Amino acid sequence: MLFTSHYLVDIQQDKIGRRVLNLGSVSSGNLWKQMDVLIFNTWLWWYRKGPKQGWNYIRDGKIISKDMNRMTAFTKALRTWAKWVDSSVDTRKTSVFFQGVSPAHYNGAAWGRPGVRDCSNETKPIAGGLTQSVVPLALKVQQDIIGSIRKPVHFLNITAMSYMRKDGHPASHNGLGGMDCTHWCVAGVPDTWNHILSTILIHSGKRGKESKTLPRQTLAHK
């Protein structure tokens, strides 16, 4: 089941029809906690503005504002979600996963080609791995918050592996026009993510689905 919730926290409509992103509310959780396996992911939509922004205002406690620092908002929302996991999910019957940041490739300086602004002519993976200088701040936020959750949440850290695949995006061949160095070709990188996830689920089943026997963080490296 795919449940679309770009921000994990709620977007609520106020009395005059404004869409308000509420950083302190996760009402969709009533449906989520009925599942056997939950796989969460969020970050891509947090920095989008204009027509692609899914809300008009942000609510942080009693304060409603037109906008705020997006990383701050993301951090507050993820903490709300983490509190929901600790308070509402029965991990004896529901396994919880969180997939890390899926990297985009619009900055050639990150792979030794300053001045390059997209992935259009990339045909080979990046040699080496993800260095500290290009680790997304959002990934650090995810690791810190998920690491603070008392209940077992399995972190699927696909960032380093995916970062090397600057050649794996549709680029201009996406059928929609424009340059796409954010999404991935299929078959491709997402298939590897699925292999990692399926391996963990099979392992969990063999161990009697005792999620505490699994590592809290699953690192995916090429």
Mean pLDDT of the chain: 90
Q: What are the beta bridge partners of residue 37?
A: 95
User: How many Cβ atoms sit within 10 Å of the Cβ of residue 101?
Assistant: 23
What six digits make up the tokens of 109? Answer: 């300086």
Question: Which among 197, 171, 215, 202 is positioned nearest to 39, based on CA atoms?
Answer: 197
Are 74 and 138 spatial neighbours (Cβ–Cβ below 8 Å)?
A: yes
Return the pLDDT at 206: 57
Alpha carbon 215 to chain centroid distance? Answer: 19
Mean pLDDT of 127-139: 82
pTM: 0.88
pLDDT digits (tens, 9 = 90+) for 90-127: 999 999 999 999 999 999 998 989 999 999 999 999 98
